[in-house]
Chains A and B, each alone.
Chain A
Amino acid sequence: MRRYLSHPFWQGAIVVVASYVAFEYVIGYVLPVIGVASAPVPSSVIVEYMLIVLVGVLLYMSADEERWQRFREPIRATMVQPDRRTVRGILMVAFPVLIGWLAYERVKPSYAAPATLRAVHPAPPNQLTFRGETIELTGLENPLREEGSMEEHLAVGKRIYVRNCVPCHGDLLDGQGHYAQAFNPVPADFTSSGNLPQLTESYVFWRIVKGGPGLPREGTPWDSAMPAWETILEQDEIWATILYLYDQTGFPPRTWEEEGGHE
């Protein structure tokens, strides 16, 4: 084992295989399991990354003459030595078959839906118009936190949520309402640590007021079923619903200080 680990050829091979596993599986499937927001990497991007890794490995190996010789040695041996005839034969069949299979994967007719890259939380505008009234979003706080009775605000928010939001976002606020499965993209899961705690209340206000039709292009406004709630709800009702969302899920909203820290 140690002999292999100290050999440049096997070191290179391990780097290449490990990189592939990381790009293909760790980023897309392992990270979400341990709670880090992530998504599978498109295959064209993987090909690009793998080419970079391969070039990197070759550059490193050829930078030193002795290492280069040792790196090439097993490859050469497999090509020429009589006692490696079996391995050579297998590789000389397996490699063309692999290439043929890759080529087939490229040209075979595809019945998959075209990949859409959708930004779940696209950048918000600096201001919005609510039924004609201009509202600055930058630095905007939830006005209801400073006025009236929080208990009453939460009761209003809950009433608005259950009447209007439950069909899609669900009683449990988990994005699993009774109509959720009819929509694509699926409704937002407010219990996910990737949503509410990452967003300022003004951001959530923007998303509720303008809904799907108000998304920028990268948010695929054409297929979001989120209504533009300014057509249905009053501003205070929306702010109260936002209070309810954070209260019922137990998440604190992102503050403008945190927001600034990232710029």
Chain B
Amino acid sequence: MRAPRGTGIVLLALFAAAPPALVGQQDAAAAGKVVYDRWCAECHGEAGQGDGSAAASMLPRPRDFAQALYQIRTTGSGQLPTDADIRFAIENGLPGTTMPGWPNLTDQEIDDVIVYLKSFSRFFAQGPAPEPLDFGSDPGGGPAAIEAGAAAYLTMLCEECHGLSGRGDGTSAPTLEDWRGLPIRAADLTEAWVFNGGSSVEDMHTRMLTGLDGTPMPSAIDAMNSGVVSPDEVWQLAHYLASFGPREMPPLREVIRVGRAEGGLPADGGEEAWAGVEAFHFPLSGQVVQLPRNFAPTVDGLWVQGLHDGIDVALRVQWNDPSNSPDPNWDEWQNKITAALDLDGAEPIALDSAGAPTVRPPDAVLLQFPFEMPEGTDRPYFLMGDAREPVYLWTWDSETGVGAARGRGLDSVEPLAEDPVAGEATWEEGRWTLYVRRPIEVESDGLDFVEGTPTPIAFQAWDGSSAEVGKRSSVSTWYYILLEPPASSTVVVTPLLAMLLTGAFGLVLVRRAQDRRRDR
């Protein structure tokens, strides 16, 4: 790789008159440059400005080391990170972004690359080495702490961005920008596994005290110093945040079990009827298979629950989306996303003379099945089938509601007006809840479910306010849905019969052997 123009000058300026102590630094920076050019430069750019060739398809963008604005630190707001902070990000990666952890690098290589990263900014060479804050000690969790933390959540106005239920749907959420002026999401606090600074109580407390420099997330230190909250209350707030959801992504289970409903199917997606019904989580990816691709999708997973009564099957699908599209409050966000993200050839949505988008796409989800029950394990192509093998779709969008369709590829959807699928969706505090219901077997075109036989199922989702339309969606590959068959007596009878027969056979054998011995 060619040496970038800027780098040599930076290195020269730094080390031209290097005293002997800095000679080691110079070697380290040179070694770090080798590692950097090999693994980091394509995203972070050869001069470390976060402008590598792939940067435009990433939101948030790669870090600009020349600015030395680091989100993940243990130092005060506006201060430089410690070497250990930079190491933390390199070793663990930044979940929820495109930055992975780097277990392939040795300790020495990481040390070297840290020296080189710091050389991109003049700030590290000035002034003393940054010192970590004093984080105090955790007074402990428990229900009382969580309750106090919930109060602090409101005192500190967390809900203005993160929303009352923490799903990143606060009233300010559509306006948020990072230091570059690019749109940035308020973190969805219910998905701790995509927190870029770690998901433990300590991690969250640290992030609150340091703030995330370069983003709208402030440090809590000012609020503590002015007496708005006490140090203990910030710890309690961290415990409250930890209570929003699991730390790890829920384990993937390939088969959605649809149990038999006791006393009738739920009539809607309401909480009472579905409480206690097992929920299955499926991660979604951006549609990055066909042009135009979606490199930074909004919906990163959904939850599915199901019940049936032998006649109808009902499903409840829930996913987090901070915007109830179409919503003019998100116009500015939609415009900024359109401008900031590489749309991969997709036509950007035009603006009217007042600067408002001429189209506000709806939110949408679809559930995909094979059109007919497949032979063996063969299935239609997972991206809505193809001309040869169509898929059967349950479609929903926030403008036209629930319907059925036949899909022959991502851009070929033909509605099936006769299909009896019905349902509705509601949006509340950053979450859609979709309820769909249909007979298990139908007269018209489309799939018949078979109790006890796994049926392939796949998902797709769109966030209209992030200009997600057409192929720019979130997708999954195939999973299964299984309607529990009625309890069968063979489960009990067959093993009993096998035991009885074996036992009797054994008795006869032993008896005969003993008789023969006595005869002898």
CB–CB A168/B288 < 8 A: yes
**Does the CB pair A184–B254 fall under 8 Å?**
yes
Do A109 and B495 touch across chains, with their CB atoms under 8 A apart?
no
Tell me if A223 counts as interface (CB < 8 A to partner B). Answer: yes
Cα-based distance from A116 to B52 in the complex (angstroms) = 40
Q: How far is the CB of B418 from chain A (nearest CB, A)?
A: 27
How close is B40's CB to chain A, nearest CB, in angstroms?
A: 9
Tell me whether B502 and A96 are in contact (CB under 8 A). Answer: yes
What B residues does A226 contact at CB under 8 A? 289
Q: Is B295 an interface residue (CB 8 A)?
A: yes
Interface code A74-110, partner B: CB below 8 Å = 1, 0 otherwise?
0010011000000010011001110111111011110
Residue B17 at the A interface, CB < 8 A?
no
Complex contact B54–A163 (CB within 8 A): yes
Residues of B within 8 A of A104 (CB): 491, 494-495
User: Which chain A residues border B498 with CB–CB below 8 Å?
Assistant: 96, 99-100, 102-103
A172 close to chain B: CB less than 8 A: yes
Given the known interface contacts A107-B494, A231-B290, the answer about A225 and B52 at a Cβ–Cβ threshold of 8 Å is: no
A39 at interface, CB cutoff 8 A: no
> Least Cβ distance of A156 to chain B in Å?
10
Residues B285 and A116 in contact, CB atoms below 8 Å apart:
no
Say yes or no: A92-B491 contact (C-beta < 8 A), given A111-B255, A171-B39, A179-B286.
no
- In the bound complex, CA of A212 to CA of B290 (Å): 12
Of A45-53, A127-135, A214-222, the one with at least 4 CB within 8 A of chain B: A214-222
B123 at the interface (CB under 8 A from A): no
Nearest residue (CB) in B for A116 is B377
Chain B residues within 8 Å of A179, by CB: 285-286, 288
Contact between chains at B377 and A220 (CB < 8 Å): yes
Query: How many residues of chain B have a CB within 8 Å of chain A?
Result: 69
Q: Are the CB atoms of A223 and B382 closer together than 8 Å? A: yes
A42-81 vs B, Cβ < 8 Å mask (1 yes, 0 no): 0000000000000000000000000000000000100110
Contact among A92, A106, A159 for B503, CB-based, below 8 A: A92
B42 touches A182 (CB 8 A): no
- When C-beta atoms are compared, the residue in chain A nearest to B295 turns out to be A167
CA distance A221 to B252 in the complex (A): 22
Interface of A is mostly: helix
A109 touches B491 (CB 8 A): yes
Which stretch, B96-104, B222-230, B331-339, B436-444, touches the partner chain A?
B96-104
* Interface hits, B489-520 → A, CB 8 Å: 490-491, 494-500, 502-503, 506-507, 509-510, 513-514, 517
With contact pairs A76-B513, A172-B104, A181-B283 given, residues A111 and B478 touching in the complex (Cβ less than 8 Å): no
The residues in A between 158 and 175 inclusive whose CB is less than 8 angstroms from any CB of B are 158-159, 162-163, 166-168, 170-172, 174
- Chain B residues with CB under 8 Å of A183's CB are 285, 477
Q: Check B412 for interface membership: any CB of A closer than 8 A.
A: no
Interface residues of A in 210-263 (CB under 8 A from B): 211-213, 217, 220-223, 225-227, 231-232, 248
Say yes or no for B257: interface residue by CB 8 A criterion. Answer: yes
B285 touches A113 (CB 8 A): no
B57 adjacent to A163 (CB under 8 Å):
yes
Knowing A107-B490, A183-B477 touch, does A162 contact B285 (C-beta < 8 A)?
no
Complex Cα–Cα for A182 and B288 (A): 12
A148 at the interface (CB under 8 A from B): no
**Known contacts A225-B289, A225-B477, A162 near B43 by CB under 8 Å:** yes
Which of B100, B288, B379, B495 is the one whose CB lies under 8 Å from A100? B495
Residues of B with C-beta under 8 A to A106: 494
Check if A112 is an interface residue, CB within 8 A of chain B.
yes
Partner of A79, one of B295, B382, B452, B513: B513
In the complex, what distance in Å separates the CA atom of A232 from the CA atom of B345? 11
Q: Does A151 contact B (CB under 8 A)?
A: yes
A162 to B151, CA, bound (A): 45
CA A178 to CA B509, docked complex, whole Å: 63
Q: Which of B102, B288, B479 contacts A172 (CB 8 A)?
A: B102
| A143 part of interface (Cβ distance < 8 Å) | no
Is B499 a contact partner of A97 (Cβ separation < 8 A)? yes
Q: Is B446 an interface residue (CB 8 A)?
A: no
Q: Is A35 an interface residue (CB 8 A)?
A: no
- Beta-carbon contact of A167 and B100 below 8 Å: no
**Is B21's CB within 8 Å of the partner chain A?**
no
B341 at the interface (CB under 8 A from A): no
A80 CA to B490 CA in the complex, in Å? 36
Residue of B nearest to A178 (CB): B98
Knowing A181-B283, A184-B477, the reply to whether A151 touches B1 (Cβ < 8 A) is yes
Chain-A contact segment, one of B124-132, B156-164, B353-361, B480-488: B480-488
0/1 string, B168-191, CB within 8 A of A gives 1: 000000000000000000000000
23 inter-chain pairs at a CB distance below 8 angstroms, sorted by A residue, are A80-B517, A91-B506, A92-B506, A99-B499, A104-B495, A107-B490, A108-B491, A113-B480, A159-B54, A162-B53, A163-B53, A167-B288, A171-B43, A172-B104, A177-B100, A181-B283, A182-B283, A183-B285, A184-B252, A191-B104, A212-B289, A225-B477, A226-B289
Top 6 A-B pairs ranked by shortest CB distance?
A182-B285, A100-B499, A179-B285, A103-B498, A113-B254, A96-B503
Other A-B pairs, 13, CB within 8 Å; known A96-B499, A178-B98, A179-B288? A76-B513, A79-B510, A109-B485, A112-B254, A162-B43, A172-B39, A184-B479, A212-B289, A212-B381, A220-B377, A222-B389, A223-B382, A227-B289
